[in-house]
Amino acid sequence: MFFNTITHLFTGMSRHVSGRQGNCCGKNMKWTSLQILLRVAMKSGWESMTNGVAKNSKAHREQQSKSASCMSGALPSNALNRHCQSNRKHNEFIHSLHGGLFMKQYVDIIWAIVAVATIAFVIAINGCHSDSPTSTYVPHYEHVEEGKAFSREFWATVAVDSFQVNIPKSGDFRIAYTTDRGSSAVLVRLSKKALITVTIEAENIVQEVSLEKGAITASNSQAIETFDDAVFTPDTSFGTLVLISAGATVLARPTVTPTPTVTPTPTAAPSNPIPAGIPGPSANAGIVVAVGDSITRGQGSSVGGYPAYLEAKLLQNGHDLKVLNKGIGGETSSKTASRFSSLIAGADAVLLMIGTNDVMGGSCNASCTISNIASMLNTALNAGVRPIVSTVIPARSTSYRAKFNDDIIALNVQIRNLAISKGVRYIDSYLLFDKSDAYFSDDIHPNDAGYERIAIEWYNALY
């Protein structure tokens, strides 16, 4: 009975382990071996204990036989008295001795069995934990950041706990990545080309990155974000574009090679664009104020930019007007707006070209730029000054700043719409430089020939 009780106790323990670990991680043989070992140990202990009890019982029976002789009077009276007295004391000693030894042996065996059971239980649990394979690790991304596309090519770079993918077109994409710890993917929908930065969990080393184009099917269709629970159908014509392999970049970020400035071959412009024999503005001449950044200021020109060319053309055609150049290099639309009222005081007309520095790194986005331009147009109209606004010219197509041209195009659409809505005339300076790099002195500033083309457009808008 005792053996069965301990066995049932241990069987319950084994079921508890199996229930927690699930077949002991596919290694029931280890657990079964422990069961057999323990059962053998318990059985051996039980047999040892029962053998000891049997031996004690045999000695006890012999002594009982002698006691019976005392009671039956089978021995002579004197011998009987001595024998019986000695037997009585012996019996008392034997009973106390056997009882103490038996109890000690019994307790020792119980503790031994419990100790073996506990050790087996701990070994089984630790064995399951140590032998069990870890669950598949998924290196989840922590956040995805969208920035301006750097170039018109697909490429990727890897950094610590992150990587970047340049995607030069809009659409739905699946960016699959593998680290030294596992694999995962992120689905993105882009409304325009972008530079995607994916930051993943710490202690992951990116090994592989590939890109697929396709279609994302999701219940919450929104213009860009990431999709954690959506179906992606790849575009087989696009294929799978491997960007990073074995931790090394396959398609690298392009290195921009400076292109020599192309200058037109016509004769150099004179230091004073006003033709000989044409008088300058009179003391009572009307005032036209040119407001803007370094392009208005005339950087890259030998005569002072389009304000100088415009004044010369006005005078040459009999218009007594003076053109004041109020352009400041590096200025953003917010700074221009803050000084605009003082600039147009007493003017008859104001020419406004601003936004290049907003697009190419300023803190003012397209909405901010349009808001500032709208405010300046309203200020001019309320002051009785005739405003004319220009679109922003592009960067030279071969320069690294050409990456901003799409943003400039988008801004120019809003500038044109704003001018139309307010009944203000505008010139489209962007078109003057869109088809040729021959009119640039550097990446973003016109040369004299380019400034003269802008001046002609301003003149045509004035008259």
The per-residue pLDDT for range 198-235, each reduced to its tens digit, is 888 777 788 889 999 988 886 554 444 556 667 888 88
Which ranges in 280-433 belong to alpha helices (H)? Answer: 294-297, 306-316, 333-343, 356-359, 366-383, 405-422, 430-433
Name the average pLDDT for the chain.
75
d(CA 376, CA 337) in angstroms, rounded, equals 6
d(CA 35, CA 11) in angstroms, rounded, equals 8
d(CA 311, CA 459) in angstroms, rounded, equals 9
**pLDDT of residue 271 exceeding 60:** no
CATH of 141-249, one of 2.60.40, 1.10.101, 3.20.19, 1.20.140: 2.60.40
Task: Tell which wins on pLDDT, 81 or 363.
Answer: 363
Cα 375 from chain centroid (whole Å): 38
Spatial CB neighbours of 162, under 8 Å, sequence gap ≥ 6: 197, 198, 199, 200, 206
Give the chain's end-to-end CA distance (angstroms, integer). 118
286: pLDDT confidence band, cut at 50, 70 and 90? Answer: very high
CATH 3.40.47.10 fits 286-462, yes or no: no
Task: Tell which wins on pLDDT, 55 or 197.
Answer: 197
Contact 6, 120 (CB under 8 A): no
| Range scoring the smallest mean pLDDT among 203-217, 230-244, 270-284 | 270-284
128-132, 188-192, 247-251, range with greatest mean pLDDT: 188-192
Share of the chain above pLDDT 70, in %: 62
204-213, 281-290, 384-393, 430-439, range with greatest mean pLDDT: 384-393
DSSP reduced 3-state for 299:
coil
The mean per-residue pLDDT over the stretch 76-99 comes to 52
Q: Closest by alpha carbon to 426, among 350, 372, 361?
A: 350
103-112, 114-123, 138-147, 214-223, range with greatest mean pLDDT: 138-147
Task: Tell which wins on pLDDT, 138 or 57.
Answer: 138
Residue 308: the pLDDT is: 93
Q: Is the entire prediction scored with pTM above 0.75?
A: no
d(CA 310, CA 273) in angstroms, rounded, equals 9
The mean per-residue pLDDT over the stretch 149-171 comes to 82
The string of pLDDT tens digits covering residues 93-113 is: 455 544 454 455 555 566 666
Residue 277: the pLDDT is: 61
Q: Which amino acid is at 230?
A: A
252: pLDDT confidence band, cut at 50, 70 and 90? Answer: low
**pLDDT of residue 29 exceeding 80:** no
Write the DSSP string, 376-404. HHHHHHHHTPEEEEEPPPPPPTTSGGGGG
Structure tokens at 366: 């397209």
Q: Is the dihedral of CA 23, 26, 29, 31 positive or negative?
A: negative
d(CA 313, CA 270) in angstroms, rounded, equals 14
The string of pLDDT tens digits covering residues 352-379 is: 999 999 998 767 999 999 999 999 999 9
| Range scoring the smallest mean pLDDT among 137-146, 201-210, 222-231, 279-288 | 222-231
Q: Closest by alpha carbon to 305, among 457, 450, 458?
A: 450
The mean per-residue pLDDT over the stretch 142-164 comes to 78
Share of the chain above pLDDT 90, in %: 35
Query: Angle at CA 413, nearest 5°, toward 254 and 378?
Result: 125
Ranges assigned E (strand) in 45-140 = none
